């Protein structure tokens, strides 16, 4: 093996040791789960949703970045964007007010999303009264 090939091989080998520990941490975070939902009818007929989410946020590259309110038919009715990781606040609760539901909707699905896995964690079905 000549000197150039040895340098390239060594650099490649070192980079795998340096970055390998980072990969499992990101993969371990899993999907974002909706733990609980409180739906409150507001004056004027719109709704406020208080949603608790759990996700093992690991930083800016892997965190729960939103949750959605979806009709049984799959129409997204509201989205609460989460602008930063919640590494030291788990689970966390955030609210979304002013959600207008189509007439006749008596239940919704609340689902969470993270930057790596997208949708896929625990969802909650909420019956509206």
Per-residue pLDDT, 10: 40
pLDDT over threshold 90, residue 81: yes
CATH code where residue 93 lies: 2.60.40.730
Residues 54 and 21 both lie in one domain? no
- Determine the Cα–Cα distance for residues 108 and 101; give it in Å rounded to an integer: 9
Structure tokens at 4: 């150039």
d(CA 28, CA 31): 9
Other Cβ atoms closer than 10 A to 119: 15
What lies within 8 Å, CB to CB, of 38 at 6+ separation is 49, 50, 51
Q: How far apart are CA 48 and CA 100, in angstroms?
A: 9
Give the model confidence (pLDDT) of 103-128 as tens digits. Answer: 999 999 999 999 888 888 999 999 99
Residues 21, 83 share a domain: no
Question: What total number of domains does the chain contain?
Answer: 2
């Amino acid at each position: 093996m000549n000197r150039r090939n040895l340098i390239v091989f060594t650099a490649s080998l070192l980079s795998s040791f340096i970055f390998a520990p980072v990969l499992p941490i990101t993969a371990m975070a899993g999907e974002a789960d909706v733990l609980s939902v409180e739906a409150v009818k507001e004056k004027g007929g719109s709704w406020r949703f208080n949603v608790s989410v759990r996700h093992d946020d690991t930083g800016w590259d892997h965190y729960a970045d939103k949750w959605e309110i979806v009709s049984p038919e799959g129409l997204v009715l509201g989205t609460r964007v989460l602008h930063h990781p919640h590494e030291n606040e788990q689970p966390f609760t955030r609210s979304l007010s002013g959600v207008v539901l189509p007439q006749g909707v008596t239940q919704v699905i609340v689902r969470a999303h993270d930057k790596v896995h997208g949708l896929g964690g625990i969802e909650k079905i909420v019956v509206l009264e």
